[in-house]
Structure 1
Amino acid sequence: MSVKQDLNLLMEMLAALPDPVFVLTESGRYVALIGGHDARYYHDGSHLVDFTLHDVMPKEKADWFLHEIRRAIETEGLHTVEYALGSKDLKGSEDISGPAEELWFEGRIQPISSLVKGERAVVWVARNITERHQMQAELRRLSEQDELTGIYNRRKLMEELEEKFAEFKRYHHATSLMIFDLDHFKSINDRFGHIAGDKVLRIVTRLCAAQLREQDLFCRYGGEEFAVLLPNTSLKDAGRLAERLRRCIGEHDLQGLLGENACVTLSAGVSTIRVSDSDIEQLISRSDNALYKAKEKGRNRVVIEE
């Protein structure tokens, strides 16, 4: 086989690579693109050659790519990243063939030893991992979601509590926790059955969720017990919210489900993170204690633990 034939074969092999391979310089210029021609998985990037990242992407996105390129060059080794990229992130995307939705990629970035057009450069191999990312996201959602009510579960609450506790220790943003349960819920299950009890839990969930802010974390804590993590919320404001939820649930008519004049009430305990707290267990314990006091005082009430 002649040198020309060898070269032609090499170019044909490179062009047939299933994943796109970019050559990018330290300044963010696209020098070459090889492979990745399947429009089901990749956008057509042939027009990018000789343009820079900032020519074709929003500044924030371009800055990120540039940072990762320079990081790989400085460490002089393989650097791997994951990132999202959609046609909306590329200027002139209306003329680009390929998937319309946002895609997820694994980027494998390897520095090139020789200068390219007078600059240090990298080879950036982009592999479409959208399906894997979506599967991981779904598994994560299922692990964090209560099956009956659709809201978050106790596991998610504990994770978020740890994060908010760390933020409080650094920034001292007021963060409160409300724990409430439905009064005499066992009697509902005993009298009307567990199917009716499950419907009540879903109704309560819907009513409470409508009263909460987007940033509030609403969880089923266990059985008929719920918790609401309230970031950037003082103890006083958390107490007001708890009272609003108590009235909302108590005033809701469940006659169609449980019979004439039927209603459900709740008891709630509220506390807030203190500077003296060493862990989230102290916050949870205070909220729990406040809830027990609400029950001892006759139920259908809110107790705030200072």
Structure 2
Amino acid sequence: MNRLFVPALIAVLVLMPAIVHDAYVLHVAIVIGINVVMAVSMWLLGITGLISFGQAGFMFIGAMTTALLTKNLHWPFWVALPLSAVIPGLIAAPVGRLSLRVKGVYFFLVTLAFGQVVAGVFAYFEDPFGGWYGIRNIPPPQPATLFSTLNKVPFYYLSLGLVLLTCWVIHRISRSWFGNVLWSIRESDLLASSIGVNVQGSKLIAFIVSAFFAGAAGSVYAGYFGYISPLVFTFEYSVNILVFIVVGGFASMAGPIVGALVLTIVPEAFRVTGKYQMMAFGLILVFSMLLMPQGIIGAWQRLAVRRAFGRRIARQGGR
């Protein structure tokens, strides 16, 4: 059943625009896709025991790269997209070497400082970064007649394609020998180092891959919304990404996916409540932490184990 679930889910997602014609629903689905990419990319760091508050900074770099290349240099979006992923990855290499020298709260602070520096630099230089007002009228992907503001379907498939690519790559990494190395580092980096694991090098690779996909998400964001600003890619957004993972659960990659899905839909569902929107969001978050400390996926797995155990006891009792 598990083997059929993922292909069936992908088929439903591919066919969704043929079933759902509401532009607002497709817009929410696009935002969910961007949030899923960000959450999954941070989850890769999480399996090494690292939490970065600089993810929004790498996303901003990717979005800014796309904006500058497509609007100022008139490059095609399809050329800007891979470059917008590569450049944050390249920047992540020296940033990671510096930040990974420290651990715990100090690592949080270093990555937080990086995100603030990125936003500050882009905000200070109005030319070419647009200052606090950001950059508007970023060209959409080509052809422009297809990727228009009135047609959400192409953007939906662009977002879905990035989600599938990100999840496939990171899933393969997490299940590979390198993924086992990352899990072992999370359990004990000293123990992993004692058996010959290059702890710093492994963490750096995970940091770079995470920044790569964050930059790609930023590129899609810029191409879809046509506007970027330091006021969008803030520290709070990095915190929200972490919340997606915590609410969904760290145990598997399904956690950040479910967390991003639920916590993107919930604020939208309570949008009609106006000023009570964030209050409702906060209450749901608090109750989820109290009732499901291992996240939604962790709670689901425990429930499945209890049901399987109950069925086994029932079968033994009927004999």
Band the TM-score falls in, shorter-chain normalisation: under 0.3
Q: Which has the higher contact order (CA 8 A, sep 6+)?
A: 2
Based on CA coordinates, which of the two structures has the bigger radius of gyration?
A: 1
TM-score, with length taken from structure 1 = 0.21
Structure with the higher fraction of residues in strand conformation: 1
Structure ranking higher in helix proportion:
2
TM-score, scaled relative to structure 2 = 0.20
